[in-house]
Structure 1
Amino acid sequence: MPSSSPAALAPVLVLVPGATGAPADGGPRFHLADATVPQLSVTDLVATRGDGVFETIGAFDGVPVNVGPHLERLARSADLVDLPAPDLATLAEAVDAAISAHDPVAELSVRVMLTRGIEGAGVPTCWIHARVSDDWTPYRAGMRVAALDRGLPTTVAETSPWLLPGAKTLSYAVNMAAVREAKRRGAADVLFVASDGYVLEGPTSTLLVRRGDTFLTTPASAGVLPGTSVKSLFTWLQEQEGRTVREELMTLADVTGSDGAWLLSSTRLAAPLTHLDDTELPVDHELTARFERVLKGQA
């Protein structure tokens, strides 16, 4: 497991009553709040039903990465679950306020949460929580991953959109159960596999696979979350490195027979797979370090 954040560095909480429109009481659109005292109602639908969406933004040496793409994806998730459209300009300002209010650190995790609000009120709840990122160093060095069946086909987005494939919701019980199962198998993380045999994504990450000079990821149409990190790497690989990038449905054999694979996320960055189940994969540490710089916005 990643190391916990240092206790001496207090997290920052920003409440955003103006996330989807002007606050009813005429107050400010967002404001700092005490992160050490209760702030969320027990009847908020995120507490009773997990009804909401979120994004996690990485900030490195005080500079956030991909704020626009993250907030646009939050708006996409909100639309998929029939939440009011968030005010992205307000949220961007609130993210900056949370980062500015936090003590300077090398790596900060900034989570933007938007819920359906208190049951019956019809007003969404929104807050931003910034804290020191966990120590992901062991994962960035390489990790064993377990392949687990997600139980849904790659056609789920077309056939069953009410299952919310591709939405980043706060209903994370299944994802966390999958991670616990991976650890029972001696692995650090999970690669989900569709019922029709294609690999998908991790519980909190996007798959990237190398095949020679071509880099591949699972199509968003297969019901995975459109990755902000893989989009950044694809742009860099194409424009700076002259590599070929594309979306492609892949099998487990495609991954185990590849020239390398990573699970990407905004705070853990690029975690190379050393093993997928019992099959060992090649790991390019130098390329992984370059990926890390790109994902930190420092390339």
Structure 2
Amino acid sequence: MSTTPASTLAILNQPSRHAPASLDGAAPLRLVDPDAVHIGVRDLGITRGDGIFETIGAVSGTPQALEAHLRRFARSAAALDLPEPDLDTWRAAITAVADSLAGHREAAIKTIYTRGIEGDGRPTGWVHGFASSDFAAARRDGLRVVTLDRGYRHDVASISPWLLQGAKTLSYAVNSAALREAQRRGADDVIFVSSDGVVLEGPTSTVLLLRDGRLVTPGPGLAILDGTTQDSLFAFAAQHGIPTALELTTTEHLHSADAVWLVSSVRHAAPVTAVDGTPRASEADLTAQFNRYLAGRRD
């Protein structure tokens, strides 16, 4: 019988060196019962979504693209004016959680960092890992997507930085609502489009296109997350002589591209097989190459 737990939780005692620890003299992190109560109901991450997170895929106990996730984690913290995270402690917690889940072929690891209780001055941090869902069907058979208006211009990050577009915050109610709308429309996922017609990203993924022999992702200067999985696939493309580019992309490109994928840390590369009800072709062989490469990362 396997002794690998279904999930593991690590609580960080001092998630930032620039803020007080939760418990004086306690260890930097501790593994605790994930089913017990650990976070106070007054924590601003719960009451106001005032915090950030990352989701890191792990294969057989190895976190994927760990350093890229940590860099993005730090950028999100800076955008919210959270105390600078102690990345050494976060890295140790992620590694400990991943190690405990090594018996699972694939796992997801979430890092959560909040402002803590209002006025207390001590941020809250934890890392929760668990066996991931089976995404074999999505990787093989693809996803039907709908395009939804995000309600912002594509340059919102430069004109309204307080909206925090491009930071990975805990405020995911809109993303969840968008996915429910996709289901109501008979689709599996969403690609957000700006109010001025520019393709942005998925609620939990980056958009990737194969156009004229090039691997393209929407950009530059858009109010979207830097894609860690997209960055890995650009590295794959460089190894295989495939040109890459950041380009402003429209919904017309979603239909005319040779292939489109939604890529993310845990689901990896899922081909898009229909956009707004219109079927489109996919590249099964290249998709399989992408997913083998992503599963084999050791960075």
Q: TM-score range by the shorter chain?
A: over 0.9
2:158 maps to: 158
1:5 maps to: none
User: What's the offset of the Cα at 1:196?
Assistant: 0.7
Write out the 4+ residue segments of structure 1 that deviate beyond 2 Å after TM superposition: none
2:82 maps to: 83
What is the DSSP-based 3-state SS (H/G/I as helix, E as strand, rest coil) of the residue aligned with 1:221? Answer: coil
What is the DSSP-based 3-state SS (H/G/I as helix, E as strand, rest coil) of the residue aligned with 2:158? Answer: helix
- Mapped to 1, the partners of 2:175 and 2:88 lie a distance apart of 30
2:10 maps to: 14
2:212 maps to: 212
Please say if residues 65 and 297 of structure 2, whose CA atoms lie closer than 8 Å, have aligned partners that are also in contact.
no
Range with bigger deviation, 223-232 or 211-220: 211-220
Query: 5+ residue gaps in structure 2?
Result: none
- Mapped to 2, the partners of 1:104 and 1:18 lie a distance apart of 29
- How far does the alpha carbon of each residue in 1:184-242 deviate from its partner, in whole angstroms, 9 at most, with x for none? 0000000000001011000000000001310110125210100000001001101x111
2:113 maps to: 114
TM-score by length of 1: 0.95
- Mapped to 2, the partners of 1:186 and 1:111 lie a distance apart of 29
1:229 maps to: 229
- Mapped to 2, the partners of 1:219 and 1:110 lie a distance apart of 27
2:50 maps to: 51
1:89 partner letter: D
Gap change, CA 1:283 and 1:12, over 3 Å in 2 = same
1:64 maps to: 63
TM-score by length of 2: 0.95
- Mapped to 2, the partners of 1:147 and 1:233 lie a distance apart of 23
- Mapped to 1, the partners of 2:240 and 2:296 lie a distance apart of 16
- Mapped to 1, the partners of 2:53 and 2:63 lie a distance apart of 16
1:4 maps to: none
User: What's the offset of the Cα at 1:136?
Assistant: 1.3
User: What's the offset of the Cα at 1:46?
Assistant: 0.8
Q: Tell me if 1:149 matches 2:149.
A: yes
Gap change, CA 1:298 and 1:119, over 3 Å in 2 = closer
Question: What CA RMSD, in Å, does the superposition of the two structures yield over aligned residues?
Answer: 1.5
User: What's the offset of the Cα at 1:70?
Assistant: 0.2
- Mapped to 2, the partners of 1:27 and 1:235 lie a distance apart of 41
User: What's the offset of the Cα at 1:131?
Assistant: 0.1
The percentage of aligned residue pairs carrying the same residue is 46
- Mapped to 1, the partners of 2:224 and 2:9 lie a distance apart of 29
Query: 5+ residue gaps in structure 1?
Result: 1-7
- Mapped to 2, the partners of 1:160 and 1:104 lie a distance apart of 45
User: What's the offset of the Cα at 1:127?
Assistant: 0.2
Range with bigger deviation, 279-288 or 157-166: 279-288
- How far does the alpha carbon of each residue in 1:58-116 deviate from its partner, in whole angstroms, 9 at most, with x for none? 01011111111101100000000110110111111111111122361100100000001
